[in-house]
Amino acid sequence: MTDRLDHFIAGDHSPPANGEYLTSTNPATLETLYEFARGSADDVAKAVDSARRTFETREWRRTTPTQRGHLLRRLGDLIGENADELATLESQDNGKLLREMKGQLQGLPEYLYYYGGLADKVQGSQIPTNSPEVINFTQREPLGVVGAITPWNSPLTLTMSKLAPALAAGNTLVIKPSEYTSRTVLRVAELAYEAGFPAGAVNVVTGLGAEAGQSLVDSPQIAKISFTGSTRTGAAIARAVAPRFIGCTLELGGKSPNIVFEDADVSNAAMGVIAGIFAAAGQTCIAGSRVFAHRRIYDELLEKVTERASTIVIGDPMAPETELGPLAFANQLDKVESYVHLGVDEGGRLAYGGRRPDVGLPGYFFEPTVLTDTHNEMRICQEEIFGPVAAIMPFDTEDEVLRLANDTEYGLAAGVWTSNLQRAMRMSQRLEAGTIWTNMYRAMSPMSPRQGFKNSGVGIEHGFESMHEYTRLKSLWINTDEGPLADPFVLGR
């Protein structure tokens, strides 16, 4: 019988108010994996209420930062103990390689350890005043209930980027995971309860974006929305919360340039291009989907990339030899394929791939694809495809490639391949992207703050800076003088 998963609210499994369930499908085998609750406004109201009540309890309010740090570390330990199981569940849900998910999940406790360590390091400061009797200092306090909405491509990692700093700062949460990957987020909410967080500190409502997600965004009791997903949904969320002036951290889409100069190690750069666009079947926000190669090494790079693409093992994401799994769901496959057709219609040439391969499984597989004869203004170079499709374009000068690389609505990440240090620094300063890698691609760490520029987002995730996304600052003034107040008609300082 198919497993049936309920919401996780107030430390317990909570069936959907409407009694309805949705199903999750394995994108490699098309087998039904489990049923999960179809969240409605009623479920969201219950979860937000639980998070709000917990936030206001004496028990949670009196939890010291050091104790919250311990709880986070304990949760990190529990996630570490369950990492392989969680990796298998995520791989079944979204089709990403088991070995990639194992790597991600085994590294996930680091998020909890890092923010566990920061829990007691958030502090205000003493501000100078112009009166010796007046003391002014700031203090940081939690916001309240944080609504976290996450996508399917790295379900737990992207959830942890929100959960860990939010709890460290003393907030409580309601999480709405992607409808394609509910299972592991529900499991981690159980583990948080097991770790000792009070019932109601971490709640999960599953379901569709337009229903459960929208209800969470519209909930008047939410103090902040922290969202990772598409730019389109992010813009809709920003519009919805604008009249309430609540905080919003938005981590959105990208169309990142991966730039290879003539002085680069071309073999390494080719591997960086492959990692940037074919790892995770290109289903990452930081995919290096626009490859710019200096004309002098263009042919060499193209040959190396297409040669490696032709040996990529496509198939069952659970098999250790597989390098490219399926796309996550049917619409993804249709979208990626239609973009490839569009690219060809726009004048692009298929240098490799472009088809649905027969891998002996019924799932949503698509070949690693390389398009040439493309121009940066084409739609396939401007719109996020979110699949294993690279457009490779030649350039002649640094100024030209800077202009092309920055000519996009997005600004999430960029890669630069060069052996010239001055050039690396110049490019890093002039590229309009929140993360820039030189002679590497796709590195990320909870310690390293990141921010999407332009339409790639608002606010910071990771690093110490993200603690400030989950606190608000209060300015406290104290007059130590007991004598009569000075002139009441003049602004005090």
**Any idea which residues carry the catalytic annotation?**
251
Q: Kindly tell me which residue out of 170, 209, 315, 343 binds ligand NAD, with binding defined by CB under 6 A.
A: 209
Contact (CB, 8 A) for 248 and 224: yes
133-152: which residues touch ligand NAD (CB under 6 A)?
Answer: 149-152
Alpha-carbon span 252 to 230, nearest angstrom: 5
Measured from the CB of residue 207, what is the shortest distance to ligand NAD in angstroms?
A: 8
Q: Kindly tell me which residue out of 116, 198, 213, 353 binds ligand NAD, with binding defined by CB under 6 A.
A: 213
262-321: which residues touch ligand NAD (CB under 6 A)?
Answer: 285
Q: Kindly tell me which residue out of 179, 337, 367, 469 binds ligand NAD, with binding defined by CB under 6 A.
A: 179
Residue 236 vs 350, nearer CB to ligand NAD:
236
Q: Does 458 bind ligand NAD (CB under 6 A)?
A: no
Q: Kindly tell me which residue out of 25, 63, 228, 374 binds ligand NAD, with binding defined by CB under 6 A.
A: 228
Residue 55 vs 453, nearer CB to ligand NAD:
453
Q: Does 79 bind ligand NAD (CB under 6 A)?
A: no
Site mask for ligand NAD (CB under 6 A), range 22-61, x = bound: ----------------------------------------
Q: Kindly tell me which residue out of 158, 192, 269, 402 binds ligand NAD, with binding defined by CB under 6 A.
A: 158
Measured from the CB of residue 413, what is the shortest distance to ligand NAD in angstroms?
A: 9
Residue 150 vs 376, nearer CB to ligand NAD:
150
Q: Kindly tell me which residue out of 34, 111, 386, 441 binds ligand NAD, with binding defined by CB under 6 A.
A: 386
Q: Does 236 bind ligand NAD (CB under 6 A)?
A: yes
Residue 5 vs 195, nearer CB to ligand NAD:
5
Measured from the CB of residue 212, what is the shortest distance to ligand NAD in angstroms?
A: 7
Q: Kindly tell me which residue out of 253, 317, 326, 411 binds ligand NAD, with binding defined by CB under 6 A.
A: 253
Residue 348 vs 434, nearer CB to ligand NAD:
434
Residues that bind ligand NAD (CB under 6 A): 149-153, 158, 176, 178-179, 209-210, 213-214, 217, 228-230, 233, 236-237, 251-254, 285, 384, 386, 412, 452, 457
